[in-house]
Structure 1
Amino acid sequence: MKLLRSLAAALAALIVASSWLACSDPPPPPYTPPPECRTTADCELPYNVDPRCGEIACIEGTCELELFQTSRSQYRGDCEITRCHEGQRVAERDPEDVWDDGNPCTEDVCEPTGPANKFVEPSPAPSGSGFCNGSGQEVTCLYDADCEDPELFCSLLGNCIPVECKNGMLDPDFGETYMDCGGHCDPCRITQPCKSKYDCLTGVCGPDGTCSVDRCRDRVQNGNETDVDCGFDCYPCADGYKCRANENCESGICFAGECQPRTCSDGRRNGEEEDADCGGDCPPCR
């Protein structure tokens, strides 16, 4: 009898416990902290990190910082390389970072004072055609023998022209428009007669039939222009046009004799930037 009562009591307790479990709420899930970020826009680069030396991104809900060893902002041809140390930019000398002026008759080197372009001594041009005249210019000849024709001589401008171009006479048969200039001879100077732009040093034969001064809108590369109607005293040149210095270009970047497009890593302040390669449409400045 006692055994039956014990079994009945245990069964009753089991029924009560089952009823309590059935009516109670399930245990709460373990706590999961909210993500630190959802997109990279939620992350902010630390103040002591230059945006040219690091970047931050949202990766699987966490803002992760990546530091670079070399700055993303480098100016080619300044004989320096900009490295990154703990997120800050540090400039170091780099003798291999020479400024290429695009002139085959100059030697591009790094001097202790910075980049330099030294005139090559008179010699055959590296291009294989013509000669370097020792003044940074590529010419057809240096001496009469370079013309390889006894009826031609090497002019002061480095052109192989007929010997009649130095006889002190006007020779229309050789296309001369003035004594010893024009046609097959060297071009004529300003105010001397001409028939076409090829007769003039300036490349401009005026409506009065004389060689005219060069202007910034004469649609000819002349004077100290680096390309047609642009460079130096004229308007800055657009990307892709020829140049000899940074100030020749709208972008402020001349390399290998050509104006380069601006970027957020060219090492120069241009476009809408607030400083070199930052601000405006580039990463924010610090």
Structure 2
Amino acid sequence: MRTPRTIAVVAHQRKTLDGGLDELRRRLSSFGVSELLWHEVPKSRKAPKKVRALLKKKPDLLIVWGGDGMVQRTLDVVAGTKTPVAIMPAGTGNLLATNLGIPANLEEALDIAFHGRRHRIDLGKLGGEHFGVMAGVGFDGAMIRDADRKLKDRLGKLAYVWTGLRHVNGEPASARIMVDGVKWFDDEASCVLIGNVGTITGGIQAFDDAQPDDGWLDVGVATAHGALEWARALGTMAVGRSDRSPFVRTTRARRIDVKLKTKMEYELDGGARSSTKSFSAVVSPGAVKVCLPRH
């Protein structure tokens, strides 16, 4: 593989990994880069505009520096193009990077960017936005909403555990779920998750057989209510297959339609979105090319 010549970087200023952005720039100079295009943003929602500007320059490689929110916003713009993306996992959860085998180590992540294999992965699409990890509503959405930036900065991944404990006794919502046009679930649910990969928030293996390049989305619904049932459900996920829990149902589909009795907030890859009573998610097969470990 030839060394990419024009390298584009879009980076979240508040996120850090090893020596930070100064170290990233220094290390890039050792890869024989002929042109370096560099944009920094203070918030992930500012990224799409910068990414669109970078793509117009037709870079050989786009490096995204940040957490899951930054990666999601970037991939949403890159989807459907030929530009390969390299992830520098500088966030709290780094869920997509973890699922793809990209370590939170700058030297190793850069080696993957320049010498790894290029591989197309699927993305999900919900509400006009692509996501790489998951979309969720209910317990999951409330947990993400309350794990704000200050709490995540202080507690890291424990922020999700802390806020999750505050919502285990929340009222379940009536949900009607269609998978590929067929009714699959119509009852009370405390959480509905749609996943493109297996491991989600807090390192939970929610979808045991999910692969980011299988052309499917996995969908799960949790009916656990209260601390005891949630403890049983999460305990089953920790030691065995999630679908063996009496409080969890999972399947897979190319399209999932969800209707709720009351409005609830949903989240994409750890980022809170608006409240809604209905949404649809579809798979976008091979939507984006990413840099992965050689093995």
TM category (shorter chain) comes to under 0.3
Give the TM-score taking structure 1 as reference length. 0.22
Q: Which has the larger radius of gyration?
A: 1
- Name the one with the larger helix percent: 2
- Name the one with the larger strand percent: 2
Give the TM-score taking structure 2 as reference length. 0.22
